[in-house]
Amino acid sequence: MVAQTSGAAVDRPEHANMYVVLDVTLDPLLVPADRVQPAIVRGKEPRLVLQRCQEWMDSFKKYDDKRVLCLGTDLDGRSRFICRFIRPQKPPPHINPSDPFAIEAAARYVSLIPFLGDSELWPQLNDVWCTDQEFLTMQCGDWEEHSILLCNYFNYIDTYRQTRANSGYSTFDVRSYCVKVDAVPEGEIWMVLRRDCKTGHCEFWHAIQGACFFVPFREPPTWLERMCPTRRPRGAAGVASRAAEGGAAGEEAALKPRADEPGL
């Protein structure tokens, strides 16, 4: 195939792909909607719990960050304390907690459940939180449902391993949490933070994709290191300097635990 560009012929291979690049702008620009805390609806939580939740959320109004959340709306339209959704959940029978790859198998299983936003399921409701059983019964859900189910599977697997003396994990203290993050290109989503409480190493799990992002623990710089930037750090804090000195190889080492710093 021969392409004509500015009067000159340019040879292109027959298998070359063709792309159309568009640059789209909007006028006026779209403004993100302000996040509004759903109104508290009684019926599922004790009145004292709802009162303390309201006081706690009111204490954050002076800050610009509006992502503080402690109550969610269930399928009945009632306010629920979101911490109640987090509890160890036994994974399906084909996922053996003693399997070294049980964590990856659980992430793969959850990622296979279809994603469907709340606005498509319940247009009249703002944001709905489903239990694990409700999520599995509907066989679809959004960020919260996927992350909660995966977090509960992780907590069950890690607890099972830690309580088995011969499992090789008895010295580990690994816990999982659901966290709200700003991701690219998704924006504001929920992920699962799996943290080794002894080493400080963390894993961020994308429940929809089943992908894992490892974040090693790094000691904060000491006073001497802040005053003398050229001083070579030692220990865990030296991973960053080794990465800068070692180029691509050093960067890869910074993203992986060393032999004396076991990962999760």
Residue 206 has pLDDT above 90, yes or no: yes
Tens of pLDDT, residues 112-147 = 999 998 878 777 777 889 999 999 999 999 999 999
Among 30-44, 61-75, 154-168, 235-249, where is mean pLDDT lowest? 235-249
Confidence of residue 38 (pLDDT cuts 50, 70, 90): low
3-class secondary structure, 173: coil
Name the pLDDT band for 217 (thresholds 50, 70, 90). Answer: confident
Per DSSP, the three-state class of 178 is strand
pLDDT tens per residue, range 68-116: 788 888 888 888 999 999 999 999 999 999 899 999 999 999 999 999 9
Q: Please name which of 253, 183, 174, 190 lies closest in space to residue 218, comparing C-alpha atoms.
A: 253
| Cβ neighbourhood burial of 162 (10 Å; 0-12, 13-18, 19+) | middle
pLDDT at residue number 264: 60
